[in-house]
Chain A
Amino acid sequence: MHTALLLDMAADAAPDRLALGGRADGLTFDETRRRARAGAAWLAGQGDGTVAFLGLNGPALPIAVFAAGLLGRPFAPLNYRLPNADLNRLLARTAPSVAIVDDDMLGRLEPHAGVTVVARSAFEAACASPGSDDLPDAQPDIAVLLFTSGTTGEPKAAILRHANLTSYVISTVEFLGAEEGEAALVSVPPYHIAGISAVLTGVYGGRRIVYLEAFTAEDWVEAAAREEISHAMVVPTMLGAILDILEARGESLPALKALSYGGGRMPLPVIERALAMLPHVDFVNAYGLTETSSTIAVLGPDDHRMAIYSDDEAAQRRLGSVGRPLPSLELEIRDPEGRVLGPNQPGEIYVRGEQVSGEYAHKKMLCDDGWFATNDGGWLDEEGYLFVEGRLDDVIVRGGENMSPGEIEDVLRAHPGVADVAVLGVPDDHWGEKVAAVVVARDPAPSPEDLAAWVRARLRSTKTPEVWAFREALPYNDTGKLLRRQLKAEMTAKPAAA
Chain B
Amino acid sequence: MRKLVVITLTLSVFLFVSCSDDKSVTIAEQYGLAYAPLQIMREKAFFEELEPDFEVKWVKLGNTAAIREAVLAGEVDAGFLGIPPLLIGADKGMDWKLISGLSVCPVGLVAESSEIPDFGSLRKDHRIALPQPGSIQHILLSMAAERERGDPALFDGSLVTMKHPDGMMALLSGAVDAHFTSPPYIFMENEGGGGYETVLGGTEAFGGEFSFIVAMADGAFIKDRPELLNSFLTALERAVDFIGARPEECARILAGIYELPQEDILRYITYPGMKYTTEIKGLGRFIEFMTENNYLSSGLTESDVLYEGLRD
Do chains A and B interact in one complex? no
Query: Interface on B for A, CB 8 Å cutoff?
Result: none
Query: Interface on A for B, CB 8 Å cutoff?
Result: none
